[in-house]
Amino acid sequence: MKQIFTLSLISLFTCSMACFGQTDTIKLFYDKNWKIIRNPLEAEYSRVAFENDNGYWEVKDYFKSKKIQMEGFYLDKKLTKMQGPFVWYYENGQVKTKSQYHNNDQIDEHYEYYESGELDTFRKFDNSGELVEQHLYKKDGSESNFTNAEFPGGIPEMYSFLGEHIKYPKDLRKKGLEGRVVVSFVVRKDGSLDNVNVVSSPNSSLSWEAVRVVRQMPKWKPADRDGIPLDIQYKLPVNFTLQ
């Protein structure tokens, strides 16, 4: 895969602000760690969000220099459910990342670029958000060697760990409730797990238990690209079944 042609997702999904009637506008300011602050003069980033005529919340983030940092769409006013195309930019105006979302799940094609414009990463997801294809590239266009993050001993040991440490909620056991919780987290360069969150779950008690067990996991073998460890996001389905 030496060359990939893409359409501008944003241009297909929307037009400029002038095309829509704005019923409400949200303005937020952030520090360098993306924590909300009140003083716009101290902000490293800013955000403008409004509801367009199609019922989506259109969001644009800006660098301190007022150059665009991100543009995308959400289903809700709280801006928690990503929907449709998202594009992130470097401060020099070059596209950094292009993704497509459906209710917070990445779907279709995902692209990442070097700041100089060359393709860095290509990923393809199915409609359920599962990764089905991935290619990482060097600046010269040749493909990088990539090894994904791994639980010590591999997948069999990981599910053995889950089976030994999960404590089925008593109230749900009595009701005979089963289900699957999908948990996402970041495997850091040192193998530690961070940003553990629930992507989908049939029950809050199952969510709490799945997160508790994942946070108890030992350090993983980190992902590796051309011999260099890197942070990577991982999705893990945790099945709760009664026997």
| Closest CA relative to residue 240, chosen from 169, 155, 175, 160 | 169
For residue range 72-118, list pLDDT tens digits in order: 999 999 998 999 999 999 999 999 999 999 988 889 999 999 999 99
- Please say whether the beta carbons of 203 and 172 come within 8 A: yes
d(CA 162, CA 209): 11
What was the pLDDT predicted at 14?
A: 42
What was the pLDDT predicted at 23?
A: 55
Residue listed under structure tokens 């937020």 = 28
Length reported for the chain: 243
- Please say whether the beta carbons of 93 and 101 come within 8 A: no
- Is CATH 1.10.8 what the domain over 9-144 is classified as, yes or no? no
Residue listed under structure tokens 């497509």 = 100
Mean pLDDT of 175-201: 91
Banded model confidence at residue 177, pLDDT cuts 50, 70, 90: confident
| Closest CA relative to residue 205, chosen from 155, 159, 168 | 168
What was the pLDDT predicted at 192?
A: 97
What is the pTM assigned to this prediction?
Answer: 0.73
Q: Where exactly does CATH 2.20.110 map onto the chain?
A: 9-144
Banded model confidence at residue 173, pLDDT cuts 50, 70, 90: confident
Q: Where exactly does CATH 3.30.2420.10 map onto the chain?
A: 155-240
- Degrees to nearest 5, angle at CA 98 with 97 and 102: 130
Q: What is the token pair recorded at 84?
A: 């449709």
Question: Amino acid letter at 101?
Answer: Y
pLDDT of 43 strictly over 90 = yes
For residue range 201-243, list pLDDT tens digits in order: 888 999 999 999 999 999 999 999 999 999 999 989 998 887 7
CATH no. for 155-240: 3.30.2420.10
pLDDT of 143 strictly over 70 = yes
Banded model confidence at residue 13, pLDDT cuts 50, 70, 90: very low
d(CA 168, CA 206): 8
What was the pLDDT predicted at 130?
A: 82
127: left (phi over 0), alpha (psi -120 to 50) or beta: alpha
What was the pLDDT predicted at 10?
A: 44
What was the pLDDT predicted at 17?
A: 37
What was the pLDDT predicted at 21?
A: 43
